[in-house]
Chain A
Amino acid sequence: NPYAGLVSHLRASWLSGKTRPMEYRVAQLEALGRFLDDKKQEILEATELDMGKPSFEAFFSEILLCKNELNVTLNNLSHWMKDEHVDKNLVMQLDSAFIRKDPYGVVLIIVPWNYPVRLFLVPLIGAIADGNCAIIKPSEISKNTERLVAETLSCYLDNDCFAVVTGGVPETTRLLENKFDYIFFTGTSRSPPVGRIVMTAAAKHLTPVTLELGGKNPCYVSDTCDVTNVARRVAWGRFFNAGQTCIAPDYLLCTVEMQDKLMPALREAITEFFGPNPRESPDFGRIVSDKQFQRIRALLCSGRVAIGGQTDEAERYIAPTVLADVLPSDPAMQEEIFGPVLPIVVIANMDEAIDFINARPRPLALYAFSCDSKVVNQVLERTSSGGFCGNDTLMHVTLTSLPFGGIGNSGLGKYHGKFTFDTFSHHRGCLHRNMGLETLNTPRYPPYTQQKLGLLTSTFEVKRRGTCTLL
C-alpha cells in the first residue's frame, strides 16, 4: 500500500490536535487566500493550457468565486464552530444540551479536470474550517493545473496536515484502499461509473461520502418568454468553459414554434459573445483532451446542425453548436454532453416536457424559462433535481447560502458556504447533566410501576397544541 505511510502521517498529525484551534484553521485558510492571490496568473495560464479556459472565465470561477467562499467561511467560522444549544424539556432545565461540531479526521478530496482549482479549493476550505487533515487528488487530465497545485500548494499549507497526491486511475485506486474519515468526490456520472466505485470503496471502511456527479440537465423554454434574454442566458450557460460544466444546460425542450424563434436569437447571442468566428475569440475555450473531443464530435450527428458544427482536431476546437429537431434516440441524448453542443428536442407543451424530464434520471440542475411564474413553479413542483434555476442558468451555484449537490444518479450530499462546513464535521449530540436532583430520575428506575410510568409520561410527553381539555 504505497500511500499507507502518508495517510498514517496525516492521521498522527490530526490526533496530535494541532488542527483544532480556531487560530490554526484561520491561518491555513488565510494561506489558501494568499495562494489564490500569489498564483493568480499561474492559475489562469495553467487552465488555459489545459482546456483553453478564457482568462475571464478562469478569474470568475477559479479565483473570484473561491475567494467568496473563503471570505464567507472566515467571516463566519467562529460562529459556525460554536456549540449549538438546543431546547430542553422540563426535567432538563439545569442541564446543557448542545450540538458539538467534531472534525472527522483525515479526508480525501478527489478533483475533476473542468474547474480544477475551484473543485479542490471549495471542499478544502470546509475540510480545513472543520479542523480536518486532507489529501487532495487533482485530476491528471488537467495536467498543467495538477502540476501547479502539486508543486505550490505545499508552500502555503502545513505539510504535516495537507498533502497533494498525483496520478491517474491506478493511483486513485490504491489511494482508496486506505481508510479515510470522509471522501469528497467530484466527477463524472458517465462511464465508467466512478461515483459507484468510490462509494463501494468507502463502504469497506464505513467512510461517509459526498458525491458530486452529473447528468443531463434539462432546460425547458416555454412559449411565453423574452426570446432574446433566454437565448443569451442559455448560450452563456451552455458555452461557458466550452460546455464542460456539470451544471450546464445540457439540452433544450421547447415547442417547434419556440425552436424557430430561438434559433436566430441564439445565433445572435453567440455572435455577440464570440464574434463571427468563435475560433478566434479569446473568450471561447477548447476541449480538454483528444478523447473528449472525439466523444463530443461523435454526438454531432444528432438532429441537424442549425448553428456551428465546425471542429478542428488539432486545436480540439468545437464551435458553439446548436442542433435542431433532435430525437430522444439520437446520440446527443444518450449521455451527458459536456461540450459546446446544445440539442433542442421539440415537445408539444409543458406537460410533455415534464413527462420527458421525469422519465429520465434526476439531473444535477434543472432550468425553466418563462415570463409566467406559474409555469416556472409548475416545472419546479412536478420534477426533481439537485438544484433549480428559473429564468437563468448556472447562477444558483454562485449563491453561497444555497446548498449545491445532486440527487439520485447526479449525486449525494451537498456543499458551498455553511453546507461545506456541515459536510466535513460530525454533528455530535451532547448532554451535560447535573449530578444533583437525583430524585427527578426515580420514575425511570426499576422496579417499574404504572405510577412511575404516569410520571414519566407527563414529563416526557409532547402535547399537541390545542389539546387543552378546557371544555
Chain B
Amino acid sequence: MERMQQIVARARAAFNSGRSRPLEFRIQQLKALERMVQEREKEILAALKADLNKSGPNAYSHEVLGVLRELVLAMEKLPSWAAPQPVKKDLLSLRDDAYIHYEPLGVVLVIGAWNYPFVLVMQPLIGAIAAGNAVVVKPSEVSENTAKLVAELLPQYLDKDLYAVVTGGVPETTELLTQRFDHILYTGSSAVGRIVMAAAAKHLTPVTLELGGKSPCYIDKDCDLAVACRRITWGKYMNCGQTCIAPDYILCDPSIQGKVVENIKATLKEFYGEDVKSSPDYGRIINKHHFKRILALLEGQKIAHGGETDEASCFIAPTILTDVSPESKVMEEEIFGPVLPIVTVKSVAEAIEFINLREKPLALYVFSNNKQLIRRVISETSSGGMTANDVIMHSVVPDLPFGGVGHSGMGAYHGKYSFETFSHRRACLVKDLKLEFVNKLRYPPGSMEMVHL
C-alpha cells in the first residue's frame, strides 16, 4: 500500500523542514487541539455514545476532561520541559558547559485502543506534539465512530502534513508497521504488543507498550468494607469493565466474601438503580466477539449476582462470581468485562504469593486500614502502578508515570512523562578550545604516576 509509505514520507519531510521545532509552533498546535475539543465536544460525545454507549457526563469526565487537562498542562509547562537541563560537573569540566538538550525524535506512531478511544489517541498525541515530533495516529477500527471522527477533525485543526490520521484494521496496521518510525506508542493487548515490538526491532525503533493483564485487588479483613466495595464497584463496572486498570479479580479471606458481595450489590443498586439495563450510565460490550468471549468465562462458575445477558444489545449485567478456582478460565485471561471473580485466600502472604506466581499486572489494588500491610504488599509485589484504598486513581495523578511492567507493558507516559517519552535527551558537553594544559594529563605518553594525580 503506497498510501502508508506516502503518508509517513510526507510526515518525515514535514518534520525535516524543522517547522515543528519552535516552541511557539508546538503551543499553537496544542491550542488548536484545545479549540477542537471545545468546539466539537458534541460530536466527540456522540461518537463515544455510538461506540460504547457512554452517557454524556460519563464520557466527558473519562475522556474529554482528561484531554483538556493534559493540554493545559503541556502548554503551561512546555517551556520548562523543553529547556536545556544543566548537569552537575566534575573538577575537569568546571569551565565547560554540560547539559541535557531535549530534542524531538522525528516521526512518532500512536496506535490507539477502542475502550477509551478518544483519550488514548489524544493524550499520546499531545505529548508527541509537545516534544516537537511529527505524528501518525492510528485509532482503533473497533471503535469506528471515534476513529472516523478523529480522522475528520484532526486535519481541520492541525498541520495536515505533520500530523496524519490513518484508519483501517489489521492489514492497514501491519502495513503501517513496516514503515520506519522514531518511536511507537501502542495501547492494546500483550499479544499484539509482541508483534509491534518485533516490527519495531527491524528499525531499532524504541517503543512504549501500554498493555494489560489481570489487575488484582486484595481486600484485607481490617478495612471499611462499605467504602472499599463502593470504590471497587465504581472502578470495576465503569465502561462496562472495559478498562485496562479495572480491578480484574478480588482476593480476600473466605470469612468476608459474603459481605463483599452484599456491599457490591448494594452499591450497584445505588449506582445503576433496580434495572441496570435501563440505566443511562451503564455501558455495553463493544462488540459481539467480546460479548461471546466474556460469556464463555461464566461457564461453570458460581454466580453470586448478575449473569443476565442480551446478545442483541451486547448487554452483560454487573456480575460477581464467588469461590472461583485459580485454574478456571476466568482466571486465565484479562476479563475486560463486567465480571468480578472472587478468589479466597487465607492471608496476605497467600495473596502476595498468588499475585507473584502470575504475570506482573498493569495495576494492583489493596484495601486495608493497616499501613504496614499496605507497605508490605507494595514492597513484595510489582505492577505497572498501584492504588491503595481505591482503584484507578493513580492514573489521574498528573505527576505519576503511567505504564506497565513485564507483560503489562514497557515505558510510561502522562504529563511530563509523555514529553520525555517522545524526546531524545542528548548529552552535551561544550569545552573551551584553549586551556590545553588540563588535557595534557590524559595524553600519551602515559605514565602511572600521572594517572594518580
Spell out A's residues near B (CB within 8 Å).
15, 17, 20, 54-57, 59-60, 64, 86-89, 92, 97, 99-100, 102-105, 181, 195-196, 199-200, 202-204, 206, 208, 211, 213, 225-226, 228-230, 232-233, 236, 272-275, 281-284, 369-371, 373, 376, 380, 384-392, 395-404, 407-409, 411-414, 426-436, 438, 441, 444-450, 452-453, 456-457, 460-465
Contacts and interface: CB of A to CB of B under 8 A. Distances in A.
Contact of B398 (A208, A453, A457, A462): A462
Interface in B408-453: 409-412, 424-434, 436, 439, 442-448, 450-451
Contact of B446 (A15, A54, A105, A403): A54
Interface in B46-60: 55-58, 60
B296 interface: no
B133 interface: no
Which of B105, B190, B407, B432 lies at the interface centre, i.e. has the most chain A CB atoms within 10 A of its CB? B432
B429 A399 contact: yes
B427 A402 contact: yes
B444 A56 contact: yes
Sorted nearest first, the 9 A-B pairs with minimum C-beta distance are A56-B446, A429-B400, A390-B430, A283-B444, A199-B201, A203-B197, A86-B399, A396-B429, A402-B427
A462 B397 contact: no
Given A408-B204, A462-B69, A399 B428 contact: no
B72 A448 contact: no
A194 B264 CA distance: 53
Contacts of B395: 429
B429 A390 contact: yes
Contacts of B402: 429
A408 B182 contact: yes
B206 A399 contact: no
A97 B400 contact: yes
Nearest to B199: A203
B194 A434 contact: no
A286 to B, nearest CB: 15
Contact of A435 (B228, B394, B399, B450): B228
Interface residues of B, number: 110
Given A387-B427, A411-B204, A433-B390, A464 B447 contact: no
B206 A412 contact: yes
Given A206-B194, A236-B442, A60 B431 contact: no
Contacts of B57: 448-450, 452-453
Interface in B82-101: 87-90, 92-93, 97-98, 100-101
Contact of A376 (B204, B228, B430): B430
5 contacts: A206-B190, A232-B436, A370-B433, A396-B428, A462-B72
Contacts, number: 304
Given A427-B412, A428-B382, A88 B397 contact: yes
A190 B391 CA distance: 48
A91 to B, nearest CB: 9
Which of B76, B106, B206, B270 lies at the interface centre, i.e. has the most chain A CB atoms within 10 A of its CB? B206
A370 to B, nearest CB: 7
B384 interface: yes
A403 B427 contact: yes
A403 B100 contact: yes
B20 interface: no
Nearest to B384: A428
B224 interface: yes
A274 to B, nearest CB: 6
A4 B313 CA distance: 49
B281 interface: yes
B193 interface: yes
Nearest to A457: B65
